[in-house]
């Protein structure tokens, strides 16, 4: 079933109005007609609005709401990926895969060993491009929300943000053994079940750039109760590590209803 995102204001009662480039897509690319069903999200409430196309005009598609699927596709916790700014265009791949795996937010972090330096102007245009990647991946994977790509933060700012979250971890290749990893995953799953039916809790995951984290950064993280953990005995690339821990969390958190 085709999936579209609208602004919350475009959902009024049982009427849903699609505008913009999606109109041309529905009319001329998909060649859809009245009576056909589509699914719509407003990108924020995690709900899946199933509707039937009513009328298609040049510049809007009017739909009739049939029902709302509450237990949509979102994970029971909101995962924020704090990603050390990687080289070249790796960030685009990381964002695309993180969105497919259920991340709710991506924060680029300018850590001590980041080779890439973004001034405000460059950062603004990069974040716009990355947000577009997130939206495209959210559409393709039929997410109910469009994960936000935030403006780059310093490590200190990122750790302060993470300290407001329910839990956070920092995968670190020098962390000993898998006990901390097991404990973290168990704690996240316990948190998810404790908060079922309430506002989804937020957790953070920190991934370093190609050069990794400095010892000072790891110490700072521990002071903020962001726990270092191992992702195994091999050294993963920065573009692999976040996806590895997201895959583990997704597997354990996925609804098995």
Helix residue ranges, H only, 8-150: 21-24, 90-100, 120-140
CA dihedral 227, 157, 216, 173 (to 10 degrees): 40
CB of residue 71 to ligand SAM, shortest distance in Å: 32
Q: Which of 6, 94, 99, 241 binds ligand SAM (CB under 6 A)?
A: 241
The site string for ligand SAM over 69-108 (x = CB under 6 A, - otherwise) reads: ----------------------------------------
Give the contacts of 135 (CB within 8 A, at least 6 positions apart). 5, 146
Of 102 and 228, CB closest to ligand SAM: 228
Helix residue ranges, H only, the chain: 21-24, 90-100, 120-140, 155-163, 179-194, 215-223, 238-253
Of 74 and 239, CB closest to ligand SAM: 239
Applying the rule CB under 6 A, the residues between 155 and 214 that interact with ligand SAM are 171-173, 207-208, 210, 212-213
Alpha-carbon distances of 236 from 20, 208, 243, rounded to whole Å:
41, 11, 10
Size of the site for ligand SAM (CB under 6 A): 17
Whole-angstrom Cα distance, residue 127 to residue 151?
A: 6
Contact flag: residue 235 with ligand SAM (CB under 6 A): yes
Of 133 and 207, CB closest to ligand SAM: 207
CB of residue 235 to ligand SAM, shortest distance in Å: 5
Whole-angstrom Cα distance, residue 73 to residue 52?
A: 20
CB of residue 206 to ligand SAM, shortest distance in Å: 7
Q: What angle do CA 230, 231, 237 make, to 5 degrees?
A: 120
Q: Which of 165, 236, 248, 250 binds ligand SAM (CB under 6 A)?
A: 236
Whole-angstrom Cα distance, residue 95 to residue 76?
A: 20
| Residue whose token pair is 């700014």 | 85
Q: Closest Cα to residue 236, out of 214, 217, 208?
A: 208
The site string for ligand SAM over 116-155 (x = CB under 6 A, - otherwise) reads: ----------------------------------------
Applying the rule CB under 6 A, the residues between 215 and 234 that interact with ligand SAM are 230-232, 234
Q: Which residues bind ligand SAM (CB under 6 A)?
A: 171-173, 207-208, 210, 212-213, 230-232, 234-238, 241
């Amino acid at each position: 079933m085709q999936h579209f995102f609208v602004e919350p204001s475009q959902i009024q009662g049982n009427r849903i109005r699609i505008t913009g480039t999606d109109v041309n897509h529905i009319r001329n690319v998909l060649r859809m007609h009245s009576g056909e069903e589509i699914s719509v999200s407003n990108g924020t409430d995690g709900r899946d609005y199933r509707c039937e196309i009513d009328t298609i005009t040049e510049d809007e598609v009017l739909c009739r709401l049939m029902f709302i699927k509450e237990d949509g596709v979102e994970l029971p916790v909101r995962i924020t990926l704090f990603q050390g700014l990687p080289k070249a265009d790796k960030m685009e791949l990381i964002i695309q895969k993180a969105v497919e795996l259920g991340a709710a937010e991506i924060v680029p972090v300018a850590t001590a060993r980041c080779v890439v330096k973004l001034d405000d102007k460059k950062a603004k245009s990069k974040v716009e491009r990355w947000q577009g990647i997130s939206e495209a991946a959210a559409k393709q994977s039929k997410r109910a929300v469009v994960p936000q790509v935030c403006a780059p933060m310093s490590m200190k700012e990122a750790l302060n943000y993470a300290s407001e979250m329910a839990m956070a971890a920092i995968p670190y290749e020098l962390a000993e053994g898998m006990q901390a990893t097991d404990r973290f995953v168990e704690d996240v799953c316990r948190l998810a079940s404790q908060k079922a039916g309430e506002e989804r809790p937020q957790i953070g995951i920190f991934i370093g750039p190609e050069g990794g984290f400095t010892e000072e950064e790891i110490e700072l993280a521990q002071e903020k109760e962001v726990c270092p953990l191992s992702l195994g005995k091999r050294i993963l690339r920065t573009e692999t590590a976040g996806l590895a821990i997201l895959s583990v969390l997704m597997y354990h958190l996925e609804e098995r209803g």
